[in-house]
Amino acid sequence: MTKTLSPVRSSTRKPPIISGLPLLYPDAVAMKYWREINPILSAMLAETEREVKALFDSPIAAKAGLPTMDDTPSISKRAKSLLDRLMNKYTRIFNRDLGNIVLDMMAGVDRSSALSLGGSLSKMGEALTVKADFLTGPMKEQFKAMTIDNVSLFKTIASTHFDKVETAVMNSIVSGNGLKDLKPFFDGHSNGTKNYGRLRALDQTRKAFSSINAARMQKLGVKSFIWMHSHGSNEPRKLHESYDGKVFEFDKPPVIYTEHGNEVRGLPGQAIYCRCAMKPVFEFDDDE
């Protein structure tokens, strides 16, 4: 008698269902990803704050520490020019460095996926080696799409940063408060931007891991997975809580969130800040 792996299917007499081990996220890969992105974001935030403060300390803004009505047009133009220059500078840096950083993260996710999935499937009692070839194998187009998504995300963080700074600077000029308004703005904005960047780095790593695992499992003939809720959030998604322990098909994934009135379907880890995981589901047929 031999055992062969086959998809879960509906029938009058259901075959035995066996699940693999949970596919746990590679936290070390995620933190390495953030450690490589953080210096760029930190440098951008620090230089922006330093240059803006220097502008307001310049002679044109020296009268009582604030621009006069006559000075306002000039300092506004100088602030706009300064922020445009910094935006161009960090756009070039992101274009130069971010691609390689994302590639390194994806390679780490690829290796972690191969190891985790191989270990999960080996629960069946049979040795199974999964190659770490997602970046170069037949699924490389899916990899390219995830890479572009990551690069676009962090470039958007940079552009959003400069938009918010420009708005704050112009408001401080109009109000006449100058640095008095900008100091608390920069304190909150810098911390918020770095926290957001860290969370999105972890988020994108989980999303890539889930997507790569799903593609691999389907290629191996695994059609279904068990949703595992993380139970780690102070404000968990009730929808995701309701999925805990349930079996779903990759071809018919559940709704993971609603956006602009539209239901979005997907896998554990694909919604923003989702830490839910999954484990593969098997059916064994006995061949006499």
The domain in which residue 6 lies consists of: 2-287
Mean pLDDT score across all residues of the chain: 84
Distances (CA, A) of 38 to 106, 126, 160, 161, 163: 17, 42, 16, 14, 20
Which residue carries 């308004």 as its tokens? 181
pLDDT digit string, tens, across residues 111-144: 999 999 888 888 655 556 677 676 676 677 777 8
Cα–Cα distance, 221 to 102 (Å, whole number): 29
pLDDT digit string, tens, across residues 143-152: 788 888 888 9
H helix or E strand, kind and range, residue 168: helix 140-175
Residue 111 exposure: Cα atoms within 13 Å on the Cβ side: 9
Q: How many domains does the chain have?
A: 1
pLDDT digit string, tens, across residues 24-40: 999 999 999 999 999 99
pLDDT, residue 11, reads 37
Q: Which residues contact 77 (CB under 8 A, 6 or more apart)?
A: none
Taking every pair of C-alpha atoms in the chain, what is the biggest distance, in angstroms? 93
Q: Using 50, 70 and 90 to split pLDDT, how confident is the model at 207? A: very high
Distances (CA, A) of 269 to 62, 205, 212, 277: 52, 9, 12, 6
Please answer whether residues 217 and 250 qualify as being in contact, where contact means their C-beta atoms are separated by less than 8 angstroms: yes
DSSP 267: -
Which residue carries 């552009």 as its tokens? 159
Going by C-alpha positions, the residue among 82, 42, 38 that lies closest to residue 58 is 82
> 232 is written with which tokens?
């780690």
pLDDT, residue 65, reads 47
Which residue carries 């690829």 as its tokens? 110
Please answer whether residues 189 and 164 qualify as being in contact, where contact means their C-beta atoms are separated by less than 8 angstroms: yes
For helices 140-175 and 72-121, the axis angle rounded to 10 degrees is: 150
pLDDT, residue 59, reads 61
Cα–Cα distance, 8 to 225 (Å, whole number): 10
pTM: 0.81
The dihedral formed by the CA atoms of 93, 41, 148 and 276, expressed in degrees to the nearest 10? 160
pLDDT digit string, tens, across residues 54-89: 888 766 555 434 444 445 557 888 899 999 999 999
